[in-house]
Amino acid sequence: MKNLSVATFGGGCFWCVEAVIQRLNGIETVKSGYSDGQIKNPAYREVCTGRTGHAEVIQVVFNPDIISYHDLITIFMTSHDPTTLNRQGADSGTQYRSIILYHDETQKTIAEEVFNELKSVFPDPIVTQLKPFQIFYEAEQEHQNYYNDNSEAGYCRMVIDPKVYKLKKMYADKLKD
Protein backbone atom coordinates (compact mmCIF):
# COMPACT_ATOMS: atom_id res chain seq x y z
CA MET A 1 0.00 0.00 0.00
CA LYS A 2 1.25 3.45 -0.91
CA ASN A 3 2.09 5.97 1.78
CA LEU A 4 0.41 9.13 0.45
CA SER A 5 0.41 12.70 1.76
CA VAL A 6 -1.48 15.88 0.87
CA ALA A 7 -0.09 19.35 0.22
CA THR A 8 -1.97 22.56 -0.58
CA PHE A 9 -0.38 25.72 -1.98
CA GLY A 10 -0.80 28.50 -4.49
CA GLY A 11 1.52 30.78 -6.40
CA GLY A 12 -0.58 32.89 -8.73
CA CYS A 13 -2.83 31.32 -11.32
CA PHE A 14 -3.55 27.71 -10.41
CA TRP A 15 -3.08 26.67 -14.05
CA CYS A 16 0.63 27.52 -13.78
CA VAL A 17 1.26 25.76 -10.48
CA GLU A 18 -0.73 22.70 -11.59
CA ALA A 19 1.26 22.42 -14.85
CA VAL A 20 4.57 22.40 -12.99
CA ILE A 21 3.68 20.09 -10.10
CA GLN A 22 1.85 17.43 -12.12
CA ARG A 23 5.08 16.74 -14.05
CA LEU A 24 6.95 15.58 -10.95
CA ASN A 25 7.64 11.96 -10.16
CA GLY A 26 5.71 10.82 -7.09
CA ILE A 27 2.67 13.02 -7.75
CA GLU A 28 -0.56 11.01 -7.66
CA THR A 29 -3.16 13.74 -8.28
CA VAL A 30 -3.30 17.51 -8.63
CA LYS A 31 -6.56 19.42 -8.31
CA SER A 32 -7.00 23.14 -8.88
CA GLY A 33 -9.24 24.97 -6.48
CA TYR A 34 -9.74 27.67 -3.88
CA SER A 35 -8.80 27.98 -0.23
CA ASP A 36 -8.28 30.41 2.64
CA GLY A 37 -11.38 32.52 1.99
CA GLN A 38 -14.61 33.44 3.70
CA ILE A 39 -17.36 31.96 1.52
CA LYS A 40 -18.35 28.34 1.00
CA ASN A 41 -18.15 26.71 -2.43
CA PRO A 42 -16.93 29.76 -4.34
CA ALA A 43 -17.13 29.90 -8.12
CA TYR A 44 -14.25 31.06 -10.31
CA ARG A 45 -16.09 34.26 -11.28
CA GLU A 46 -16.44 35.13 -7.57
CA VAL A 47 -12.83 34.33 -6.69
CA CYS A 48 -11.65 36.49 -9.62
CA THR A 49 -13.23 39.55 -8.02
CA GLY A 50 -10.82 39.26 -5.09
CA ARG A 51 -13.71 39.73 -2.65
CA THR A 52 -14.03 36.12 -1.42
CA GLY A 53 -10.66 36.07 0.33
CA HIS A 54 -9.81 32.80 -1.43
CA ALA A 55 -6.52 32.13 -3.17
CA GLU A 56 -6.22 30.04 -6.31
CA VAL A 57 -4.43 26.92 -5.05
CA ILE A 58 -3.71 23.35 -5.95
CA GLN A 59 -4.18 20.33 -3.74
CA VAL A 60 -1.61 17.63 -4.36
CA VAL A 61 -1.66 13.99 -3.33
CA PHE A 62 1.93 12.74 -3.42
CA ASN A 63 4.06 9.79 -2.42
CA PRO A 64 6.67 11.04 0.08
CA ASP A 65 8.72 7.90 -0.55
CA ILE A 66 9.31 9.24 -4.08
CA ILE A 67 9.23 13.04 -3.60
CA SER A 68 9.66 14.64 -0.20
CA TYR A 69 7.56 17.53 1.01
CA HIS A 70 10.81 19.49 1.25
CA ASP A 71 11.55 18.94 -2.45
CA LEU A 72 7.94 19.65 -3.40
CA ILE A 73 7.96 23.00 -1.56
CA THR A 74 11.41 23.89 -2.92
CA ILE A 75 10.25 23.28 -6.49
CA PHE A 76 7.04 25.22 -5.84
CA MET A 77 8.94 28.17 -4.36
CA THR A 78 11.38 28.33 -7.28
CA SER A 79 8.70 27.96 -9.97
CA HIS A 80 7.05 31.32 -9.18
CA ASP A 81 8.08 34.62 -7.61
CA PRO A 82 7.48 34.27 -3.86
CA THR A 83 8.62 37.87 -3.29
CA THR A 84 5.70 39.68 -4.95
CA LEU A 85 2.66 40.40 -2.81
CA ASN A 86 -0.65 39.45 -4.40
CA ARG A 87 0.83 39.28 -7.90
CA GLN A 88 2.36 36.85 -10.37
CA GLY A 89 3.26 38.44 -13.68
CA ALA A 90 0.20 40.22 -15.07
CA ASP A 91 -2.13 38.44 -12.61
CA SER A 92 -2.83 40.78 -9.72
CA GLY A 93 -5.06 40.50 -6.65
CA THR A 94 -5.23 38.60 -3.38
CA GLN A 95 -6.49 35.51 -5.21
CA TYR A 96 -3.01 35.25 -6.81
CA ARG A 97 -1.04 35.43 -3.56
CA SER A 98 1.78 33.03 -2.80
CA ILE A 99 0.58 30.74 -0.02
CA ILE A 100 1.38 27.41 1.60
CA LEU A 101 -1.42 25.86 3.64
CA TYR A 102 0.20 23.29 5.90
CA HIS A 103 -1.68 20.16 6.95
CA ASP A 104 0.33 19.50 10.11
CA GLU A 105 3.17 20.92 12.20
CA THR A 106 5.77 18.88 10.31
CA GLN A 107 4.76 20.51 7.02
CA LYS A 108 4.90 23.93 8.71
CA THR A 109 8.42 23.26 10.00
CA ILE A 110 9.61 22.01 6.62
CA ALA A 111 8.15 25.04 4.82
CA GLU A 112 9.91 27.35 7.29
CA GLU A 113 13.18 25.48 6.62
CA VAL A 114 12.72 25.92 2.86
CA PHE A 115 12.00 29.65 3.32
CA ASN A 116 15.24 29.97 5.29
CA GLU A 117 17.23 27.99 2.71
CA LEU A 118 15.90 30.05 -0.20
CA LYS A 119 15.98 33.56 1.27
CA SER A 120 19.43 34.21 -0.20
CA VAL A 121 18.28 33.04 -3.66
CA PHE A 122 15.85 35.94 -4.07
CA PRO A 123 16.85 39.62 -4.11
CA ASP A 124 13.72 40.61 -2.14
CA PRO A 125 12.13 39.13 1.00
CA ILE A 126 9.86 36.10 0.60
CA VAL A 127 6.23 37.13 1.20
CA THR A 128 4.66 33.69 0.80
CA GLN A 129 1.99 33.21 3.43
CA LEU A 130 2.28 30.15 5.67
CA LYS A 131 -1.06 29.26 7.24
CA PRO A 132 -2.84 26.17 8.59
CA PHE A 133 -5.00 24.36 6.04
CA GLN A 134 -8.72 24.57 6.69
CA ILE A 135 -10.74 23.63 3.60
CA PHE A 136 -10.27 23.14 -0.12
CA TYR A 137 -12.94 23.79 -2.73
CA GLU A 138 -12.28 22.11 -6.06
CA ALA A 139 -12.47 24.46 -9.05
CA GLU A 140 -14.78 23.89 -11.96
CA GLN A 141 -13.89 21.10 -14.40
CA GLU A 142 -12.63 23.48 -17.11
CA HIS A 143 -9.84 24.55 -14.74
CA GLN A 144 -8.55 21.01 -14.14
CA ASN A 145 -5.57 19.82 -16.20
CA TYR A 146 -5.75 23.15 -17.99
CA TYR A 147 -2.27 23.35 -19.49
CA ASN A 148 -2.30 19.77 -20.76
CA ASP A 149 -5.70 20.29 -22.38
CA ASN A 150 -4.99 23.78 -23.76
CA SER A 151 -1.24 23.93 -24.40
CA GLU A 152 -1.68 25.87 -27.65
CA ALA A 153 -3.70 28.66 -25.99
CA GLY A 154 -1.96 32.04 -25.80
CA TYR A 155 -1.81 32.14 -21.99
CA CYS A 156 -0.27 28.67 -21.90
CA ARG A 157 2.35 29.51 -24.49
CA MET A 158 3.27 32.90 -23.05
CA VAL A 159 3.01 32.29 -19.31
CA ILE A 160 3.07 28.57 -18.52
CA ASP A 161 5.53 27.27 -21.15
CA PRO A 162 8.46 29.21 -19.61
CA LYS A 163 7.67 27.75 -16.17
CA VAL A 164 7.59 24.21 -17.58
CA TYR A 165 10.88 24.78 -19.44
CA LYS A 166 12.47 26.13 -16.26
CA LEU A 167 11.25 23.06 -14.36
CA LYS A 168 12.78 20.74 -16.97
CA LYS A 169 16.08 22.61 -16.79
CA MET A 170 16.33 22.89 -12.98
CA TYR A 171 14.74 19.63 -11.86
CA ALA A 172 15.17 17.10 -14.67
CA ASP A 173 15.97 14.37 -12.13
CA LYS A 174 12.57 14.86 -10.41
CA LEU A 175 10.39 14.57 -13.52
CA LYS A 176 8.14 11.75 -14.63
CA ASP A 177 9.45 9.81 -17.60
**Distance of alpha carbon 75 from alpha carbon 91, whole angstroms:** 21
Query: How does strand 55-62 pair with strand 136-138?
Result: unpaired
End-to-end CA distance of the chain, in Å? 22
Active-site pick, 13, 16, 48, 156: 13
Q: Are 16 and 114 in contact (CB under 8 A)?
A: no
- pLDDT for the residue numbered 101: 98
Mean pLDDT of the region 40-62: 97
- pLDDT for the residue numbered 1: 66
Q: Are 24 and 75 in contact (CB under 8 A)?
A: yes
- At residue 89 the predicted structure's pLDDT band, cuts being 50, 70 and 90, is confident
- At residue 177 the predicted structure's pLDDT band, cuts being 50, 70 and 90, is confident
- pLDDT for the residue numbered 2: 82
Q: Are 42 and 88 in contact (CB under 8 A)?
A: no
- pLDDT for the residue numbered 149: 97
- At residue 52 the predicted structure's pLDDT band, cuts being 50, 70 and 90, is very high
* pTM of the shown model: 0.96
- pLDDT for the residue numbered 164: 97
Active site residue 16: no
- 144 is in which domain, residue-wise? 5-174
Mean pLDDT of the region 4-26: 97
Kindly report the CATH number assigned to the domain that includes residue 66.
Answer: 3.30.1060.10
CA angle 97, 129, 75 (to 5 degrees): 80
What's the total number of domains in the chain? Answer: 1
